[in-house]
Structure 1
């Protein structure tokens, strides 16, 4: 019965339509759009490569600047960054860069609301994300969208050049290439009046010309209605700003959240799993102490257990890691809250940036993954699976440690690029003899990122790892507790270097009976064909040395095509295919043979953006030859995922 219900859910447009209507109704009052919703999908064409490769330099600065408390004419509602985020528009690799969003304050009850005030709001809000770019304009002739045919132009020009009371943008416009509205003019006139009052109050009234006072009086009479509306609105905004400042959560911290709820099931001749409804919640407290740094303190909880595929992999619980979805990466499966990420990203000398993680650190935090649209740092807005999200080489090791990124390039063919190095230890907090920073599991990374023009992104990555007995290779450090203590991508044989396929480390002829040293070499690339089509792919070879036993070879590769804004802005269609990490060869005595077939992973999903903060993603994952054995029947995983970002 559950299979029938699940198929009906996936195939019935009526059910999906009803879901959309209900969700739309529940979210009729939309919140400001978060950067997470735009970080990759709506990135300008010229920013494509930066969003995919240039990780935590320029874009992370934008993210951090958005955190700074701002005192503006209008209260600012900060937009969330990437949930891993995020590090933008990817965290630390923030492609996933944050730009502030504003929520218009309600007008004072005694003031009539004018539609044209929206134009004034847009004008006053522009440039907030890059306040340092605003420069003083000393001549009205520089403001190209002020019409010189207006009688007030000469008066405005005289006031600007004599008192310097209006600021424009460096390009000499108010943005938008349109004539100045009466309310914009009133804003400038109000500034002029304030400036003259300052001079008079300072006892320098002789600096104010009599003809200027006459001009101001005439302008004040002409724009009396606009000035009254503007001043009333400013008074209301100032009152609201004062209230926000008095009751704000913190002057240095903002809260970014994500909730994922998904219905999933497996289909195949030999699978017995039931339909499940699972969830994961992430609450990230993002703090900045100097404006260009960011401290992530993330709380997470979930109940997403893995499908076992026990018919293919023996009796070991949760022995199969193929087809694992991103919301399976959670602290546990009991909805217990845990601090699953505590990390600090900060500027160093020049354009260099540092990264320190106390727990939950992964290489993708500080190294660009070059997989736009699919990558969402295991969030709920990118690909369904951990395999399609990023090259599995970034899954080798994790935990506590640090990274360093040095920038170079920036003009011509070679756009902003970087050299990145890092080190993460799985059990850094454990004082045991086989743990700690250097004696337990660890992984050291070195990577070169290149941006070629504005369409091509490349990354060449090397990771050296050490894995104690029984610990998976592609396990992001196993630092997230019970659920994710095991691997997050790849076959059981590849992760435990196990030729028996039973998932046990003490079986025969399983080889995972001692420590393993790995050297992995990976490449990742992304190419933007157009604003609506992106192609990306990766490949990694891992040489595993079984200490005292011999060696083994592990391969993985994949590629996909993404169609952002398909059907509607914010939507995303993604198709990805490849081979998850697979054990291919073993050079060790006593090995009598094992299954080394390639199993395909094919994935398709379509994210439909209901509102700025809510998306629904139906998708399917097809696994051929699971357990790297052609004799095993194919498995299909169906998912209907709903994601809430705030």
Structure 2
């Protein structure tokens, strides 16, 4: 029985309901009390609740219809609406009892109500006890809650890993990385992200292997020192514009679409194994713990979204060749086009500048020739223009194809370089179990296709990066991810032996 249209007979005031937007105005109008069920055009004698409605309308007079003489008995109602309607009818019954309207409320009705009360006294007492217990627990939670505006999220990742190859001499290691993130909201639509991080994973095996290729996505923390590695404030401006202000660990991927959901977790321990597997390295230009900046995302229409931002790697440093506008910066613009629900692509442009502090890099990915370029470039001004394209095609809820590619043209005093990277990624959500994730990424991390002047040891062989992993959820809070990364022609040199990185990652989230 739908009680969404209950009114009190003495006030004829319609109980507010939630419904379809086009009916809001109609629902707020007040009409006369229905005196016969035949006045409701959409209630037929063949309806299963016809007799109940007839009794409530013609015997108790506590049902009203909509202004167009409909009842809409197939629409859903909330618990609040049910309570309001039930209360209206009970008020009407009490009124009839008080006025001793015997022809409407008979002694048999009163006896029936009394018998029902006695028969269900135990159930009512149990329900009352459960409600009292729930109220007490709610009061305790409210009195002892962490914050009315802030939620605490945590992630602890333990990694067992080693490398294998004819020319590798690393040892098996067991590392950890912990994140605690406070997410605060002051208006209900904004978010303040304050994240603490600690760990001892460092830069994975980069020092031992002599390359940033294959670095783990969640590495970076060292010596178990606790730091604030993210401090961002995200807020809307109107209905279509979202702004992200970054005071620490600014990066383009925090405000822009990177077309790789699930695999990209912002350096988390639940996505791809490697930094390269998370997203196109073009989004890593300008990233550092010291980076400050601002970014925006503007939804132009259902088809197109515009994104852009400005990052200053030493934006909080007032010294020479630093600050917001006199130091290393990275400015990005991106257009996202989604012509279909399951397909979208983006075009990205990044302009970068380095005043000569030697920090030109692709955020811990790529070969040595692609990061730092020539010896001595730390004393040279570097200008770079990067162009990227990426796409995502969700073939089904359990299979998605993503891909990207980018080209970076670099000019510095006395030389120039061309840097390339590209990849294709396959994602398999809920593979074998709900909440699981399988992934395969194959491509080339950033490498210098051309470098002028050309060092004597320079080679421009294409370095191949292939990784595969499977995240298995033990439960809602624990997952285990075995995986392997294969590096062919590391440091863009085929004479270098292949490197295999094996890992078993366990992640706790709360």
TM-score normalised by L of structure 2? 0.81
User: Does residue 1:457 correspond to 2:349, yes or no?
Assistant: no
CA offset at residue 218 of structure 1?
5.7
1:161 matched to which residue of 2? 63
Q: 2:185 matched to which residue of 1?
A: 288
Deviation at residue 562 of structure 1 after TM alignment: 1.3
**Distance (Å, rounded) in 1 between the aligned partners of 2:143 and 2:486:** 54
Deviations 1:226-247 (A, max 9, x none): 6555443333222221111111
| Match 2:75 to one of 149, 154, 172 | 172
Q: Deviations over 1:114-148 (max 9, x none)?
A: xxxxxxxxxxxxxxxx9x999898999999xxx83
SS in 2 for 1:460: strand
* Alignment length (residue pairs): 465
Which residue, 351, 354, 357 being the options, matches 2:240?
Answer: 351
Show the counterpart of 1:497: 373
Q: Which runs of 5+ in 1 are unaligned?
A: 1-129, 176-183, 314-319, 476-486, 499-504
Q: Is the 8 A contact 1:163 1:195 kept in 2?
A: no
Q: Secondary structure at the match of 1:387?
A: helix
Q: 479, 482, 494: which is aligned to 1:615?
A: 479
For the 8 Å contact 1:265–1:639, the answer to whether it is kept is: yes
Aligned residue among 422, 431, 453 for 1:557? 422
Runs of 4 or more, structure 1, over 6 Å off, are 132-143, 156-160, 168-171, 196-201, 203-217
- 2:257 is paired with a residue whose SS is coil
Higher Rg: 2
SS class of match (2:360) = coil
How far off its partner does 1:189 sit?
6.7
- Structure 2 partner of 1:641: 505
> Are 1:630 and 2:494 matched, yes or no?
yes
Where does residue 26 of structure 1 map in the other structure? none
Aligned residues of 2:206 and 2:213 also touching (Cα < 8 A):
no
Residue 323 (str. 1) matches residue 214 (str. 2): yes
Q: 8 Å contact 1:137–1:169 — kept in the other structure?
A: no
Q: Distance in 2 between matches of 1:581 and 1:205?
A: 84
Q: Paired residue for 1:335?
A: 224
1:24-173 alignment, distance < 5 Å: 148-149=48-49, 152=52, 161-162=63-64, 172-173=75-76
* Aligned-pair Cα RMSD in Å: 3.9
2:255 aligned to 366, 383, 388, which one? 366
Q: Show the counterpart of 2:293.
A: 401
TM-aligned CA distance change 1:221 to 1:525, over 3 Å: farther
- Cα gap change, 1:610/1:212 in structure 2, threshold over 3 Å: closer, same or farther? farther
Q: Note the C-alpha offset of 1:537.
A: 0.6
Shift of 1:463: 0.7
CA distance in 2, matches of 1:307, 1:578: 20
Higher relative contact order (CA 8 A, sep 6+): 1
SS class of match (1:361) = coil
Q: Is 1:378 aligned to residue 280 of structure 2?
A: no
Q: 1:292-312: per-residue Cα shift (whole Å, max 9, x none)?
A: 000001001110033556676
Separation in 1 of the partners of 2:446 and 2:86? Answer: 69
Change (3 A) 1:539 1:221: farther
* Contact 2:270 2:507 (8 Å CA) reproduced: yes
Q: Is the 8 A contact 2:353 2:384 kept in 1?
A: yes
Question: Secondary structure at the residue paired with 1:437?
Answer: coil
Unaligned runs of 5+ in 2: 1-18, 29-33
- Deviation, 1:592, is 4.7
**Post-superposition CA distance 1:500-541 (Å, at most 9, x none):** xxxxx44xxxx4541211110001101111221100010000
Please report how far the alpha carbon of residue 409 of structure 1 lies from its aligned counterpart in structure 2 after TM superposition.
2.5
> Which of the residues 117, 120, 133 maps onto 1:236?
133
The secondary structure found in structure 2 opposite 1:434 is: coil
Distance 1:267 1:436, change over 3 A: same
Cα distance in 1, alignment partners of residues 173 and 350 from structure 2: 36
User: Partners of 1:342 and 1:358 in 2: how far apart?
Assistant: 5
Confirm whether residue 245 of structure 1 aligns to residue 110 of structure 2. no
Residue 221 (structure 1) shift = 5.9
Aligned CA distance change for structure 1 residues 209 and 294 (closer, same or farther; 3 Å) = farther
C-alpha distance in 1, partners of 2:141/2:65?
33
- Corresponding residue of 1:257: 154
- The alpha carbon displacement at 1:444 in A equals 0.6
Q: Following the alignment from structure 1 to structure 2, what is the Cα–Cα distance between the partners of residues 153 and 453?
A: 46
Query: What SS does the corresponding residue of 1:235 show, helix, strand or coil?
Result: helix
- What is the deviation of 1:424? 1.0
Q: Which has the higher strand share?
A: 2
The answer to whether the 8 A contact 1:428-1:435 is kept is yes
Post-superposition shift, 1:492? 1.5
CA distance in 2, matches of 1:592, 1:426: 32
Q: CA separation in 2, counterparts of 1:271 and 1:134?
A: 70
| DSSP-derived class of the 1:378 partner | coil
Alpha-carbon distance in structure 2 between the residues aligned to 1:240 and 1:394: 46
Structure 1 contact 351–406 (Cα < 8 Å) conserved: yes
